[in-house]
Structure 1
Amino acid sequence: MKTVKVRMLKNIISIILNLIFSFIVLSFVIFMISHLAPGDPLYSIYGESAEKISPLQRQKIITSMGLDKPLIYQYKSWIYGFIHGNLGVSFKYNIQVSDIIKKAFCNTMFLAVITIISIILFSIGLGLLCAIKENSIIDKVINKIGTFFYCIPGFWLGLIAILIFSVNLKILPSSGVYDIGYEGNLTNRLKHMILPWFVVFIGHLGYYTNFVRDKVLEELNEDYIMAAKARGLSQFRILSSHVLRNILPSYMNLICVSIYHLISGSLVVEAIFTYPGLGKFVFESAKFHDYPLLMGVVIVTGMIVIFANLLADIFNHVLDPRINKG
């Protein structure tokens, strides 16, 4: 037992070291790409008036912003600031990037967490139902509907949802987080989240449902299931105590590894519904070449993905002790 715990601890330390290395590589690549990409960073501050700035004024502004220094030096300064909790000041908004990201991150995670939890619950339930009713009408209908929505682009589905529920039926809001005067009202916030949540949820549900269905069918064909049935165990007991327990590590690993797809899908949906999350600032910072803000939002979303992979590894070690016996 002690050897297993030591081995697990070593594995977790190795994962954390990989996390740090991944962050350094990610931040360096994003920093270089964003600064080397064509475009005028002064556009984020002065808009179209940036074209009228004289070369001498332009040079003074660029020097004051520290953009005239070598990129390696700029990256070193950014890393130093990041370690001390300083992500710089947004060129466009002229406020601390950390303040912008803090609020946007909370909005994005609020939507993402609710979506992921609902996908987990519904996909496991529907996957089990499809496996139990294999090749039945219920199984075929759920698979067809899931495949249909999975193949529809999120932005197109979002526009259709706005057209139906906001423009024609006028029963759901198409943008924002709250109605004017209802700031802080949870019911009003949830009402604004229905359409963004639905688009991400319905677009990914079919994929995870099919994964659960296939895994359950594989487990039901194993010899230990036959033995369990011979011992007189009920179907509910077999599914809950044996099948789900065995497929849970691979399922949670898939969820964690797929966080990138769920988050990226949420970012696109946020842009469609003008939801004030990280997605809005990803597009705005890239459009206006707001380097500090772009670095901040991309690093945060990248760290979410890296952290999700870390969770996947930890889940594997905790839920599947066989990994630690190697």
Structure 2
Amino acid sequence: MATSQVQPSMLSIFVVFFCVYGNVVYGQFTKFDKLTLPRGVIGPEAASFRGFMAEGPFTTVIDGRIMKWQGPNIGFVDFAYTSPARTKQFCDGTTDPDKGPICGRPLALSFQPITGLLYITDAYFGLLVVGPNGGLATQLAGGFKFASGLDVDLLTGYVYFIDASLTYEIRNTSQTGFNYDSTGRFLRYNPLTRQVSVLLSGLSGGGGPAVSADSTFVLVPKLTGLRVLKYWLVGLRANTTQVLVNVAGNPNKIKRAERLGEFWMAVSVGQVPRRPPITPQGVRINSNGVILQTVSFATEFFNKTISLVQEQSGKLYVGSRFTDFIGVYSN
């Protein structure tokens, strides 16, 4: 277990509260729009924004690229990639799961707002980071079977992420007869010592964690366990867990909401075990596990699982590995 601490600065504390605190009034998010990927590209499973000007969203796609939205006149453009062996001729537009070890399969993004660094989890290449100008990402930690989601602690700089399994890879999940196991792990990367620590094991399924704005706990989804765990980082309960909330569907990535102390979960009812039609939902909860709001995305994402619900400037950005667009819901 890494013991070195990264001390928070006044600037980082300011950034945290500037970014996540606001007097947000929630509606039902009935207006729908979409940010469409280039032709033939699918699988936007992230929607991360950079800086005070909220550049982006940045997203990950199945063919191994990280792309950046440049507005409706330009659309999405290439920003970064995770595999040193990747070539555009071989990889661009591919949906072949067996090309993942060559092309990469980034699944989640999280910016460090002070440095502008973009942290990435790639199912095959593990934990990576890329600078503000993009390009080939640098691998920080590898050797994982199925790295899925991540979140950067805005105060300490630690990176929390999930390795979904010790036995199967992401390409196995689409095979006939596939069953999830319970060998997933919840991990922490210390950027000063460059050490990875295992905080929890025995997780069922992937997804992505979310660190609280005050760095006191992390929410960890159990995708096939239909629940969310609360892992305490400080105080008498440090390094212990509790079940925060039981969920009616399969929780995937969790993200901080714009209102302090609240979170959005991407939930797919009927995903595992499969009970069509699948109902995708955004579920807003508070730090005590109280469900505050449920928004259905069933019309635009009919019978599709979703990976992410990211709130930004009063809108919800919804990602799925099965679409060629990011859904944008507003009031």
Q: TM-score range by the shorter chain?
A: under 0.3
Q: Which has the larger radius of gyration?
A: 1
Greater relative contact order (CA < 8 Å, ≥ 6 in sequence): 1
Which has a greater percent of strand?
Answer: 2
